[in-house]
Structure 1
Amino acid sequence: MKFNIQLAFILIAGTVLTGCSNQQSATGDSKAVLDTVSLSSKNYALAYQDGEKIVATSIDTMKQISFGGATDPAISPDGNKLAYTLSDSAGHRSIWIADMENKSQGQLVVNNNNYYQAVWSADGNTIAFNIFNKQNLWKIGIIKADNSGYVMLDSASKINVYAPTWKNEREIIGQDLTNLYTFDLSGKVTDTKPIAGLIGKDLTIASSNRFFYTKDGKKLVFNAGNNDVLDGLTGPSEAVYVLDLASKKVVRLSPKGINVPYVFVTADDRIFYSGAEKPFTNPKIYITDLDGNNKIVVDKGTNPTGALK
């Protein structure tokens, strides 16, 4: 079975160039279509989901490139590559990388049919992701962007580990709803922290909630469920918070009245998140800093990731 991936390059000025690239996969049939590319230098600052397509854009949104049929956008720190998830009709998921300079796409091959949601290391050389192993457990995988050096972290334990992020270029963190774990790149658990002891009992964590260490390692940025009652919202409300590890103080960064199911923090401590206000049908993308200075950057979108400045 194959992924049949067609690339159509349309210059915004009106000149049309077309091409195609067929990549092999054992997981099923799917499609990701690159449909627009700007005339200016292909160095992008932000990638996000817009309905059934992924958009990569400059921070001022003046230049854009989009992919149809893909999810889980992850822009590389240099802004030149985009990792994303493809799903087939059987529910299999795999991660692919598009080089936005030479217009090529290729699959990360880890001999598995359910791995998704890539997260780049700060140097852009390695990707972490969630992977479903043969024991029906969620684990964290890491692999080089050139498809070498694959490792499944904590592969022998009997716990699920969700939502990987990079603490630094040598360590990765993930959570199992109860504890926050730190792994080295060999897969060894080097630190375990009870989540309730970090964030208190008034906030709740789901498997999709991610924790990010700040660049200095002294704070954690995360999104979590809270006790806010938002009229018209189905399900619990979530917000973005920052925890000072020394003082144990938790401060809310996103404004009240906005439900925030997704947050991403760059290695230079810029915080992107998607959130919606009442009637909760038009999510927007925001950027904030560690002091809670919020600004809307995209009027419609979800699941943002950012490149380094």
Structure 2
Amino acid sequence: MIKFNLCLAMVVVPCLTLFSACNSDNNDQSKSTAVLDTVSLSSKSFALAYQDGSKIVATSIDTMKQISFGGATDPAISPDGNKLAYTVSDSIGNRSIWVADMEGKSQLQLQANSKNYYHAAWSPSGKTIAFNLFSDKSIWKVAVIKADNTGLLVLDSKLTTRLFSPTWKSEAEVVAHDLKNIYTFDTRGKLIDTKIIAELLGADYHVSGSNSFFYTSDGKKLIFNAGFGKPVEELKDLAEGVFALDLNTKKVTRISPERMNVPYVFLTADDRIFFSGAEKPFTQSKIYVSDLEGNVKTVVNKGTNPTGTLK
């Protein structure tokens, strides 16, 4: 097991004070708890989670109420806003996923039978979590597990390609890619659909393992981020943007503003697009939200890797 120290910061905001404590048992590496103020989350006012430097912040959409976690990355807030999944790394680079029940004040480590698993993604109901897992065959796969830590399943374990960035198409369908193809699996592990990325997008969009593909709730559009355009001197690479592909017309529409680098995008089950991006000189990343038509608003002035709840 990994020994780590997960802390909750004290945050003072109008009409709300969150007190917290850390508990790390040096004699039992399997235990790590954080004490939360139950009242702070009983109204389900927390709608967004994101990374702020070395800590994770869970916040209301107006940022007036906040709670923060130290020593964790890859925030993934559940659709109802009551749970937070996150990644913890040890001193030799192994990663594991933990889930905090923010109302019940409990934490648990997902039991994935791997020393390296990360990038949690909640199903639309919040009952299941998909994630990347380094398998016993030394290849990146996608696995699913129930939120109560049962029913671990590696999706199509016979597929020999590496899989990245799992998302949910529906409660019963998980999406991942291998840089060349977008795969859809059912939650029994069967591969049910394959789409060739180059045929969908053409040659102008460059996909990396950290890029994600999300189907909209009606299944008619694909929201994704990818490198596009000419190399940017400050980045020494292509800038990434957020785009929407109409699967019927094959038309791609840009969602994120021009001249912005967007390495992370997240689509809620009710079709709100959250993303983090920075404008030149690309040193300050902000968090934005957009509808499917590209009406973008700034949500947080400093942060990365946002995930959102249902409204």
Pairwise TM-score range, normalised by the shorter structure: over 0.9
2:64 paired residue number: 62
Normalised TM-score (structure 2): 0.92
Q: 1:242 to 1:32 in 2, by over 3 A?
A: farther
Secondary structure of 2:199's counterpart equals helix
Question: Given residue 96 of structure 1, which amino acid in structure 2 is its aligned partner?
Answer: W
CA drift of 1:32 comes to: 8.5
1:304 paired residue number: 306
Is this contact kept in 2: 1:47–1:74, CA < 8 A? yes
2:108 paired residue number: 106
2:153 paired residue number: 151
Moved more, 109-118 or 16-25: 16-25
Q: 1:278 to 1:11 in 2, by over 3 A?
A: closer
Counterpart Cα distance in 2 of 1:8 and 1:50: 13
Counterpart Cα distance in 1 of 2:255 and 2:240: 11
Q: Deviations over 1:137-191 (max 9, x none)?
A: 1100000010011100011121111111000001011101111111011111101
Counterpart Cα distance in 1 of 2:213 and 2:233: 28
Q: Deviations over 1:117-144 (max 9, x none)?
A: 1000000000000001111111000000
Question: Given residue 200 of structure 1, which amino acid in structure 2 is its aligned partner?
Answer: G
CA drift of 1:232 comes to: 2.6
Alignment of 1:115-154 (within 5 A): 115-154=117-156
CA drift of 1:18 comes to: 4.0
Question: Given residue 23 of structure 2, which amino acid in structure 1 is its aligned partner?
Answer: C
Counterpart Cα distance in 1 of 2:19 and 2:274: 33
Counterpart Cα distance in 2 of 1:140 and 1:40: 31
Secondary structure of 1:236's counterpart equals strand
Counterpart Cα distance in 1 of 2:137 and 2:293: 43
Q: 1:250 to 1:46 in 2, by over 3 A?
A: same
Question: Given residue 310 of structure 2, which amino acid in structure 1 is its aligned partner?
Answer: L
Question: Given residue 144 of structure 1, which amino acid in structure 2 is its aligned partner?
Answer: K
Matched, 1:205 2:207: yes
Q: 1:11 to 1:219 in 2, by over 3 A?
A: closer
Give unmatched runs, 5+ long, in structure 1.
none
2:96 paired residue number: 94
Counterpart Cα distance in 2 of 1:34 and 1:234: 43
Q: 1:37 to 1:302 in 2, by over 3 A?
A: farther
CA drift of 1:5 comes to: 4.0
CA drift of 1:89 comes to: 0.2
CA drift of 1:10 comes to: 3.9
**How many equivalent residue pairs?**
306
Q: 1:3 to 1:226 in 2, by over 3 A?
A: same
2:23 paired residue number: 20
Normalised TM-score (structure 1): 0.92
Moved more, 229-238 or 156-165: 229-238
Alignment of 1:39-78 (within 5 A): 39=40, 41=42, 43=44, 44-78=46-80
Question: Given residue 226 of structure 1, which amino acid in structure 2 is its aligned partner?
Answer: F
CA drift of 1:231 comes to: 4.8
Q: Deviations over 1:78-130 (max 9, x none)?
A: 00100000000011100000111122111001111100010000000000000
CA drift of 1:200 comes to: 1.1
Moved more, 172-181 or 229-238: 229-238
Moved more, 170-179 or 223-232: 223-232
Counterpart Cα distance in 1 of 2:105 and 2:25: 13
Question: Given residue 63 of structure 2, which amino acid in structure 1 is its aligned partner?
Answer: T
